[in-house]
Structure 1
Amino acid sequence: MPSAPQLTARPAGRALTGTVRAPGDKSISHRSMIFGAMATGVTEVEGLLEGDDILATARAAEAFGATVERLGEGRWRVTGQGGLKTPASVIDCGNAGTGVRLLMGAAAGYPITATFDGDASLRKRPMKRVTGPLTEMGARFDWAAVEDRLPVTVHGGNLEGIDYLQTVASAQIKSAILLAGLNATGETVVTEPEKSRDHTERMLRAFGAEVGVEPLNLNGGGEGWKITLKGGQTLTGTTVSVPGDPSSAAFPLAAGLIVPGSVVTVEGVMLNPLRTGLFETWIEMGADLTIADERESGGERIGDVTARHSALKGIVVPESRAASMIDEYPILAATAAFAEGATVMRGVGEMRVKESDRISLMVNGLRACGVRVEEEAEGFIVAGGPVRGGATVATAHDHRIAMSHLVLGLAAEQPVSVLDPEMIATSFPGFVEMMNGLGAEIV
């Protein structure tokens, strides 16, 4: 990934074609490092996403006492000592929101003290959504400057399980509670009226823990579940095969949908039903999106996804789908700009507390490119139509904002530039090279 102050996507003068492989899934990659550090014995990881966020989590795993080795491209070995030790220095999580929140949960379960920090972007993100339930379990937190914001020091150990009703569908909150619950006395229960990603539950089982999951039948027809974890369980090192990240696959697939004549295939994409909301939405919009060779890898369904240039139409995206695609709304908004009619995206206020205020940044960027957008407190509406382009877009160092506007620029009337593109490396190292290999011009 070049360290240029900006990148520019020029309208594609030809169709994009080719087959690529998505980077390893970010959620699975974070968890493989953290679970491996907590476990006893060796965890072998294949297909790890080697982005900045994951490398920060790998360094944290080492700081907590594990031996972490890179064996080759995407191949890593983590040798855990059966628990986390007090680190010698501050744990710098860089820009990794998932990394810091899961690590805080893991550290809270041990009788250790650890201070967590991050870059300027991560320091703006709320942390009490995680430290609140961990405090209920018995952990203590000291805020260095501003309450609810990094840096923060956790004093762990002597935790008791809690029965927690989750009001925000967040896999990060759930995962932090469950990781702390491994070393708490009694049972830890998380009730989710609205399902969030279940990677932690799946991976805990792969590492030898017993996790109970019961469906909830809610009044009003909603679907949720109750997760139960007994304390005092230990993890055992295992082999983790990281599937392709559907959030990353979304970018070349989106380009395939909006650049005339294009046919783009991304191989080995995770098809966990709690991660495929964007694909469902695109299909409802009229996208020619097909999946071939469905198979299982590392406990997850994967398949090869092909996107062909399509005439899209605007739809109202079901609010209940937000949890399964919260990171994909920026690229959905970029594709919606080329649809006929309006695409309504509501119930996505969580976007405002990601790496940036993603609603505001997407609204501003799309408007600069000539797209009509209506901003709301908990969402936004993108009116499809001609996309002029010809703008330089501020990204607030947010990788998904940058990539979404670069994809938009491939089908706009004029080039689109993004500022501060170096953060793309946090989740998608090799993005520019992959896109240009398909026939794009991003320089």
Structure 2
Amino acid sequence: MALRPTITLLPPNAALNGQVSPPGSKSITNRALLLAALAKGTSRLSGALKSDDTRHMSNALRQMGVTIDEPDDTSFVVTSSGVLTAPEAPLFLGNAGTAVRFLTAAVCTVKGSVTLDGDDYMRKRPIGPLLDALGRAGLDAQSATGCPPVQVRGTGPLQVKRFEIDGGLSSQYVSALLMLAACGDAPIEVALTGKDIGARGYVDLTLACMRAFGAHIEVLDDTLWRVAPTGYSANDYLIEPDASAATYLWAAEALTGGRIDLGVAAENFTQPDADAMHYIAQFPRMQAQINGSQMQDAIPTLAVLAAFNQTPVRFVELANLRVKECDRIQALYDGLNAIRPGLATVEGDDLLVAADPALAGTSCDALIETHADHRIAMCFALAGLKVSGIRILDPECVGKTYPKYWDALASLGVKFENR
């Protein structure tokens, strides 16, 4: 069996200072790509992310008759008739959760059958609540396992009055239905069947993006939206930098006592993960309990930072982390305890990080299994800024959302060993 590649950071023993421009937001890029594809005309998306996830989304849209040009490293030019057509082959979406979930809903407008599939990790990620919601509305979207692959049999124009969805497991289900709802032939209500919703801030991102492409949405209350049958209009759209990516740089700054200029202040982000800066700014006296339900992708960053805090930190309401690219609660537990046994414990869906500022300057022999999860690779790189001997498996998995992550750290003076 071939050896899997690893990367080992060499602790810089100095403050990290410099300027880094984070990539565009993955969450906003994939929303904007889909909405531009559903709009008649040509849209230019600027500041966009070019990564594995957005490549899977753009390639799938191309398979369905949309023209997408890429004139530079941060732009997509999307030209569409406003109608998606049935692809000749299944849509392969890797482990891109936004692409699979958003497209599962959107292809209900296609006349014909569409199969959506992904890699082995994606085939373990649940999509049942979204399929149930589509089915109750009279649409034909099915999966034998409750996970991809998914088979959708679309009939073209959408004749639905109401979607009901349990958004507790993932806000992406809610966003998928909201974006679809503007394609109806009459107003469509989208209703939550419970008050809980994972990362509600991402639904707000969806609504903002929809409105930018001409949708009209009434927010009737915290659990109910009414979407007008406007369809979408082509638009030129500027995508803000990725807040989840920014968290690694903010944490690197805090850990090393440095100053990293991202070109945008934390308070100017609209993405929920920017709230992590509130807790990063507390370091090394982070508060004793942090709720992760509304900034899920930032929790790996905060958990590794907490390992160097002065006092223990309990992370609560993390159930959604179990259905990300991997079971991130388990991956964080395994990785932290590989650095030092007893550094982390799990109680239900809570993660307790024991915290030990004396870790800084020590060495270990820790092999971090990333499970091909970009966020696990990037967060444990932070530990490598302070502890020697941390080897991170499959470092290129960062290409899912931040292909130039290792280059960004190198630009700040961090050195590596690659094997």
3-state SS of 2:18 partner: strand
Residue 167 of structure 1 and its aligned partner are, at CA, apart by 4.4
1:16-31 alignment, distance < 5 Å: 16-31=16-31
The corresponding residue for 2:124 is 124
- Quote the residue 1:346 is aligned against: 316
Match of 1:205 among 189, 211, 230: 211
**Cα deviation 1:258-305 (Å, max 9, x = unaligned):** 12x32222123652263322112223xx24xxxxxxxxxxxxxxxxxx
Letter in 1 for 2:237: V
Q: Following the alignment from structure 2 to structure 1, what is the Cα–Cα distance between the partners of residues 114 and 386?
A: 47
Q: 2:351 aligns with which of 380, 385, 395?
A: 380
Measure, in 2, the Cα distance between the counterparts of 1:273 and 1:106: 23
1:257 aligns with 2:232: no
Matched, 1:235 2:206: no
1:156 positional shift: 2.1
The DSSP-based 3-state class of the residue aligned with 1:251 is: helix
Q: Of the candidates 337, 344, 365, which is equivalent to residue 335 of structure 2?
A: 365
Task: Give a deviation string over 1:4-61, Cα, whole Å, max 9, x none.
Answer: 7111112122221001111000011101211111110011011111011101101111
Once the two structures are superposed, what CA deviation does each residue of 1:114-141 show, in whole Å capped at 9, x if it has no partner?
1101111111111112211111122212
> Does 1:154 find its partner at 2:152?
yes
SS at 2:232 equivalent = coil
Q: Is the 8 A contact 1:58 1:68 kept in 2?
A: yes
SS of the residue aligned with 1:178?
Answer: helix
1:335 maps to which residue?
305
Question: 1:174-253 residue pairs with structure 2 within 5 A?
Answer: 174-184=174-184, 185-191=186-192, 193-194=196-197, 195-197=200-202, 198-214=204-220, 216=221, 224=222, 226-230=224-228, 232-253=229-250
CA distance in structure 2 between the aligned counterparts of 1:335 and 1:141, rounded to whole angstroms: 41
Instruction: Quote the Cα distance in structure 2 between the aligned partners of 1:246 and 1:196.
Output: 12
Q: Is the 8 A contact 2:165 2:174 kept in 1?
A: no
Q: What is the CA distance between 1:169 and its match in structure 2?
A: 6.4
Q: Which runs of 5+ in 1 are unaligned?
A: 217-223, 288-310
Alignment partners' CA distance in 2, 1:190 and 1:169: 15
- Cα RMSD over matched residues? 1.9
Using the TM superposition, give the Cα deviation of residue 142 of structure 1 relative to its aligned residue in structure 2, in angstroms.
3.8
Distance 2:280 2:126 in 1: 31
What does residue range 284-299 of structure 1 map to in structure 2 within 5 Å? 286-287=282-283
When you count strand as a share of all residues, which structure comes out higher?
Answer: 1
Q: Secondary structure at the match of 2:304?
A: helix
The amino acid across from 1:381 in the alignment is L
1: CA distance between counterparts of 2:305 and 2:244? 14
Contact 1:314 1:339 survives alignment (8 Å): no
* SS of structure 1 residue aligned to 2:215: coil
- TM-score for the superposition, normalised by structure 1: 0.86
Structure 2 unaligned blocks of 5 or more: none
TM-fit CA distance, 1:234: 1.5
Alpha-carbon contact 1:15-1:262 (below 8 Å) kept: yes
TM-score when normalising by structure 2: 0.90
User: Does structure 2 retain, via aligned residues, the 8 Å contact 1:115–1:152?
Assistant: yes
Measured in 2, the distance between the counterparts of 1:421 and 1:129 equals 33
Cα contact 2:316–2:351 (8 A) shared by 1: yes
Letter in structure 2 aligned against 1:374? T
Report the AA paired with residue 64 of structure 2.
F
Aligned identity (percent) is 27
Using a 3 Å threshold, how does the CA distance of structure 1 residues 15 and 282 change in structure 2: closer, same or farther?
closer
* Amino acid across the alignment from 1:228: R
1:21 is paired with a residue of what secondary structure?
coil
Aligned to 1:307: none
How many residues of Structure 1 are paired with residues of Structure 2 in the alignment? Answer: 400
Letter in 2 for 1:121: Y
Distance 1:432 1:403 in 2: 9
In 2, are the aligned partners of 1:406 and 1:418 still within 8 Å (CA)? yes
- Is 1:50 equivalent to 2:59 in the alignment? no
CA contact (8 A) 1:159 1:183 kept: no
d(CA) in 1 for partners of 2:402 and 2:243? 12
